Amino acid sequence: MKRVYVNEEWCLGCHLCEYNCAFAATGERDMAKALKGMEIHPKIQIEGDNRISFAVSCRHCDDPICMKSCIAGAISRRDGVIHVDKDKCVGCFTCILVCPYGAVLPAPDGHAVRKCELCTDNACGEPACVAGCPNGAIVFEER
């Protein structure tokens, strides 16, 4: 299946993917209006320093330990995408405890978790982090 990958050598560490991710989740049309002055809660995060940087988001693992460990049965696979049912999630954070990528994050309300669902959970269609990456470092492809 197609997944989001980052080509580390092209990543500028500009954090625009984080903004595009947070913006995609709002469903608004204007990024400035949607995000200005807001604390953002993206599902992709930039790591690194001045020399190396890269974006990290859910790998949609073939062997998803978050799904197998979820105490609420709130994590499932839908057409390949690892999906969190926020209504079932009780926010115990077992998925955060087990994700080897650190790609599952607490939701701002603390009662659920958030993670990348490849923009299948919003109106974008294709991942917004990929579409908005100015250097083509983030790609959406089969590997």
Partner 1 sequence: MKYVIIGNSTAAVGCVEGIRSVDQEGPITVISDEPYPAYSRPLISYLLQGSTTEEKMRTRPADFYEKNGVTLLSGKKAVRIDDARKTVGLESGESLPYDRLLIAAGSRPFIPPMAGLDRVEKKFTFMKLDDAKALEAALTPESRVLIVGAGLIGLKCAEGIRGRAGSITVVDLADRILPSILDETGSKMMQEQIESNGIGFLLGDSVAEFGKDRAHLKSGKTVEFDLLVVAVGVRPNTELASQAGCEVGRGIAVDERSATSVPDIYAAGDCCECRDITTGQRRVLAILPNAYLQGEAAGVNMAGGEKSFANAVPMNAIGFFGLHVLTAGSYDGEEIVETKPGVYKKLVVKDNLLKGFILIGEIARAGIYTSLIREQTPLDTVDFDLLKQKPQLMAFTARRRAEKLGGAK
Contact predicate 129/139, CB 8 Å:
no
> Based on CB atoms, which residue is closest to partner 1, 24 or 113?
113
Binding mask 47-86 for partner 1 (x = CB under 8 A): xxx--x-x-x--xxxxx-x--xx-xxx-------------
Residue 8 in the binding site for partner 1 (CB under 8 A): yes
Q: Is 10 in the site for partner 1 (CB under 8 A)?
A: no
Q: Based on the shown chain and the rule CB under 8 A, indicate whether residue 27 belongs to the binding site for partner 1.
A: no
Among 16, 98, 107, 131, contact with partner 1 (rule: CB under 8 A): 98
Which of 18, 94, 116, 137 is in the footprint of partner 1 by CB under 8 A?
A: 94
The CB-of-33 to partner 1 minimum distance in angstroms stands at 29
Can you give the chain as a three-state secondary structure string?
Answer: CEEEEECHHHCCCCCHHHHHHHHHHHCCCCHHHHHCCCCCCCCCEEEECCCCEEEECCCCCCCCHHHHHCCCCCEEEECCEEEECCCCCCCCCHHHHHCCCCCCEECCCCCCEECCCCCCCCCCCCCHHHHCCCCCCEEEEEC
Binding footprint of partner 1 on the chain (CB under 8 A): 3, 5-6, 8, 47-49, 52, 54, 56, 59-63, 65, 68-69, 71-73, 87-88, 90-102, 104-106, 110-111, 143
